[in-house]
Every structure is written in C-alpha cells, then in structure tokens.
Amino acid sequence: MAAISTGFAIFLSALIPLGGAWVERTFHLFGQELHWQFGLAQVVAVAAIVLFSAINCIGVAVGGRVQSVLTGAKLLGIVAIVGGVFFLSPGASLAHLQTAPGTPQWSGIQSFGAAMLAALWAYNGWYALPLVAGEVEHPQRNVPRGLIIGMLVILVIYLLTNFSYFYALPISEILTSNSTAHRDALPVATKAAQTFLGPVGTAFISVAFVVSTIGALNGLILSNARIPFAMARDGLFFKRMGEASKRGRVPVWAIIFQGLWASVLALTGTFDQITTYTIFALWVFFGITAASVFVLRRKMPHAPRPYKTLGYPVVPFLFILVAAWLVINTIQTSPVESAVGLILIALGLPVYFYFKQRRTGREGVASS
C-alpha cells in the first residue's frame, strides 16, 4: 500500500506538478546511502491511503464495485496502448526486436535475479485473492479457478503489452526508460504511446498510470485488512481488529490500523526503496507458506483439505527453491533494503509471541 500510493503520487506529478521535497536527508547504512525526503508527494500518497481506506470502510460491496470500475478502466488503457502501437504507430517494426550493437549482454545470475524480483512486483496481486476467500461464494471451487484463470489472463496481457513496447521502440529507447522518475527519463509506456499520439501520449499514459495505481491500492486495502482481522479472530492480535461493522460487515478497525501503518511507511522512503522492502518481505513469507504445505501434510495427514496443491510435491518444492534464491539474491544485491525489510518483519515477533502467550493462557484456563 505504501509503495503503490507513493507510485500514485509520482505519476500524478506528471499531470499536476507537486513541487520538490520540503526536507531531504541522506543516511549512511551498511556502507551504502539511504535517501529520505518529505514533501507534497508524500502528503498526496498518505491522502490516497486515507481516501480509499474510508471507501472500503463503507462496505465490501462498495469497495468491490470501485475495484471493478478501476480494473475495467485499467484494461481499457492497456488495450488503447497495445492497439495504438500495432495499428497506428508509423515507426513500429519487428526489426526493433533485434539486439542492437552495444546493447548490454548477459551480466550474471545476480543481475537476472534483481530484474526478476522487480518484474514479479507486477504480478504480486495474486496472493490477495485467498485473503478474501471467506467472502467468496463456493471458495473451494472459485478461489483456485480465479487464481489460475486470473494469472493466465495477466500473463497474456503483460506479454502482449511488453511485446508492443519492443515492437514500437528500439531497444536503446527501452533501456533508457524509467518508470519512477518523469524528470530524468520517461516510462517505456509513455514512449510507446508517443509513437502514435505524439506529445498527447505523455498525458494519456500519466492518466492511465494514475488509474492503475489507485486500482491496485484499492484492491490491496480491500484484501489486506483481512490479515489483521483473521489474526485477531485467532487470538493473535488486538481483539478490536477482529470486529466487523454491523452495517457493512467490514473489518473497519483493521482497515484503519493498516491505513495508519501504511501511511507511516509511505513517509519513510522512495518508491524504489519501499518496493524492495515489500517484495523482499513478501517472498520470505511466500516461501514459508509453501513450506508449510509439507509440514501440515506430515503433522495432519488426515485433515480435510478443500484446496488441492496441484503438482504436489514437485510444484511447491520448486516454488520454495525459487523463493529462497530470490531472497538470498536480494540480500546480496540490495543489502540496505533487505536489512530494513528484515527489521520490519522482526518488529512483529514480540507482538506475535505476546498474543500467542495470552491465547495459550486463556486456553489453559478454559480447559481447567
């Protein structure tokens, strides 16, 4: 939420100048520089979190309708870019797919891992669907179906979109693109749109990016609040977080809590820094979650399993290997961001053990 809201402020600044930072500081940590700034962009990022948190506090149906509208608008933007490149761009050519002289070549497995981690950021929404399984009709059937079909659709859309970029632009133009700073270099999507829209392409892509980021932000607020909600219901977090509103049946306190924490994080770093923290932490837990499949099958062999792990044990084992490699590679290539990610994760451990001890104590009293 913090990373996406920060991205929203960056893309909005291309339409409405937000000015520079009011305060800037550079810190040295583990032999590397850590940049921090505060300005109107950070205020806008926090305001976006507050606004969409408020919308989702109204009710699940309202948040869901907003998500459907934003997702539809995002898809229309993608269709417009891809269609424009293939049918309207005069300079588009398959020759652009050929490697130009002087293009950087394969530079090692570490660089590939860093690039892969960044690319996986675009696919991270898949984990959000199971978080709302309790509010899905026939979840045993629809959640796996939604995950598989949804990922296949996203793969096709992303591959087609990236192919259109390479079709529209020489590789040299793609290499000099930048999705996080409009001042220094244009995003690759903007350059592709300019091939058939001219200067208007910049504004068009900026609007598309703004819609895309608020769509992602709304979806995360809608789904991620179910984590502290479920933790509270299991006795592992503050009891109030497990309460749902009587009117909208939404975990309002959980939404407020995560909104406050996301706002704090949005004020602590740049888009690239927060993104690296996030992806690093996510893949730590993705690997642990996949490993738990093996543990639970060994400890609870006869437990009912409404969800089936396709390709067990090969698929989860390969997933764990890739997750472990991504985490180790990130520690090597981005030590500062990895350290911050580990510290943020570690902050939760005392809270977890405290509530676990309280729950164990209550269970002991109840049994006696």
Question: Would the pLDDT of 183 be above 60?
Answer: no
pLDDT at 32: 61
Per-residue CA distances from 151 to 78, 122, 123, 124 (Å): 16, 11, 8, 10
Task: Report pTM.
Answer: 0.79
Residues 136-173: tens digit of each pLDDT: 888 888 988 988 998 999 899 989 999 999 999 988 88
pLDDT at 100: 61
Residues 294-329: tens digit of each pLDDT: 999 999 999 988 887 889 999 999 999 999 998 898
pLDDT at 182: 44
pLDDT at 85: 93
Neighbours of 113 (CB within 10 A): 19
| Contact in structure between 335 and 30 (CB atoms under 8 Å) | yes
pLDDT at 105: 65
Query: CA-CA distance, 288 to 44, in Å (whole number)?
Result: 35
**More confident: 235 or 279:** 235
Q: Quick one: fold of 2-94+108-269?
A: Amino acid/polyamine transporter I (1.20.1740)
Residues 124-146: tens digit of each pLDDT: 778 888 888 877 888 888 988 98
Q: HSE of 42 in the Cβ direction (CA atoms, 13 Å)?
A: 19
Q: Find the distance separating the first CA and the last CA of the chain, reported in whole Å.
A: 44
Query: CA-CA distance, 187 to 139, in Å (whole number)?
Result: 38
pLDDT at 104: 62
